[in-house]
Amino acid sequence: MKDLASTLERFSAGDRRALARLITLVENRSSAVPEVMRALYARKGRARIVGLTGPPGAGKSTLGDRIIACLREQGRKVGVVAVDPSSPFSGGALLGDRVRMQAHFLDEGVFIRSLSTRGRHGGLARATREVVQLLDAFGFDDVLVETVGVGQTELDVMRLAHTTLVVLVPEAGDTIQVMKAGLLEIADVFIVNKADREGAGRLKNELEVMLGLRGESRWRVPVLLTEATAGKGIVEVVEQIDAHAAALHAAGGDDGSETRVREWVEILRDEVEQRLSLVLESDDFAELARDLREDHTDPYSAALAVLKDPERLARALAGKRDRSGS
């Protein structure tokens, strides 16, 4: 794959168009993805990954814009992954990156990419992990991942990010709902945005009380008040991101072993899931698929029949079609 080799070379030389090209390959789940990620894997592991999550309407994009500006003032290069809801028609991102964080588009030290969840309700785009790794390998100091902010998404962010910022607003309602959503467990920093609104101080106090009931831990989760549109409280947010990174370093952090094992399992599951569609297309199982369509067997029996024939299953997953009948 001569073109891919050329793209990887340009990526290594700092070509942003090559970065964009590789991200597109990853997002489209190209068959070249394993080769790309394998080639760049040794280059990753240097970036600080910050998750930004919370309910819709909390002002995450504006807050992210201000955080980027603050990091750029420190001379840090920032990559941004904005995970958007999928279009029900195209499968693409409903909220393109051009409507987000517009002040940074001409800044060579910032790279922003929107990704679609592709119908995976409550979850990050399947490609998000690889895109973050590409931005890391490209040399960004910080990678900011902003999520849709619903359901399972926050748990996905926690697994991906080194530091997770959970953004709420005074109208968030009863903080018991925060506990039910699991946000209390995943937050490294709580942010009450739009703090000029009534109830901000009360929500901050309630969160602090609830966090105090968790007992002692190596990191005391702070609750910060911000007004992102006015730029208030942003410096304090970045200071807490820095403090959390320092705390992780002082504690010895994660040597990455468990992360690599978890990543291996996720990659294996994704690869198998992608290739399962080949089973129905495979000549090896054409007769079984026909029996299923014509109601001569049931899906459970058909699935077990596939699993009980590992040789043909392996051939089908490899994408090899046996037209000879052997």
In this structure, are 217 and 295 located in the same domain? no
pLDDT digits (tens, 9 = 90+) for 64-87: 999 999 999 999 999 999 886 544
* 11, pLDDT greater than 90: yes
Are 154 and 183 in contact by the 8 Å Cβ rule? The answer is yes
The 10s digit of each residue's pLDDT in 171-213 is: 866 555 665 566 777 889 999 999 999 999 999 998 898 888 8
99 burial via Cβ count (<10 Å: 0-12, 13-18, 19+): exposed
Whole-number average pLDDT of the chain: 81
Indicate whether 286 pLDDT > 90.
no
**What's the structural domain count of the chain?**
3
Last residue of a domain, one of 210, 238, 253: 253
> What pLDDT is attached to residue 306?
84
Q: Are residues 91 and 34 in the same domain?
A: no
Please state, for a pLDDT cut of 90, what percent of the chain lies above it.
40
Confidence at residue 141, expressed as pLDDT on a 0 to 100 scale: 97
Give me the mean pLDDT over the 10-18 stretch.
95
Mean pLDDT of 155-167: 82
Last residue of one domain, picked from the residues 198, 220, 253: 253
Residue 84 or residue 50, greater confidence: 50
The answer to the question of residue 237 being in a domain is yes
| pLDDT score recorded for residue 150 | 54
119 and 209 inside one domain: yes
DSSP state of 45: S
Whether residue 81 lies inside any domain: the answer is yes
- The verdict on residue 324 lying in a domain is no
User: 192 and 223 share a domain?
Assistant: yes
Q: Does the residue 325 lie in any domain?
A: no
Neighbour count for residue 7 (Cβ, 10 Å): 20
| Rounded distance between C-alpha atoms, residue 262 and residue 105, angstroms | 34
Q: Indicate whether 231 and 221 sit together in one domain.
A: yes
Across 103-251, where does the E strand assignment appear?
Answer: 110-116, 142-146, 163-168, 189-192, 223-225
Mean pLDDT, residues 287-316 taken together? 86
Helices (H) and strands (E) in the chain, counts: 14, 7
326 within a domain of the structure (yes/no): no
56 shares a domain with 202: yes
pLDDT at 317 over 80: no
User: Are residues 11 and 71 both part of a single domain?
Assistant: no
On whether both 113 and 147 belong to a single domain, the answer is: yes
Q: Are residues 244 and 170 in the same domain?
A: yes
Assess if residue 101 is contained within a domain.
Answer: yes
CATH code (residue 209)? 3.40.50.300
In this prediction the pTM is: 0.81
Per-residue model confidence as pLDDT tens digits over 88-97: 333 444 444 4
Same domain, residue pair 63 and 192:
yes
Domain residue limits at 272:
259-317
Q: Are residues 109 and 184 in the same domain?
A: yes
Helix (H) or strand (E) holding 84: strand 78-84
Check residue 193 and give its pLDDT. 95
Do the domain assignments include residue 322?
no
Rounded to an integer, the average pLDDT of 106-126 is 68
Residue 323 belongs to some domain of the structure: no
Residue 281 shares a structural domain with residue 191: no
Contact 138, 19 (CB under 8 A): yes
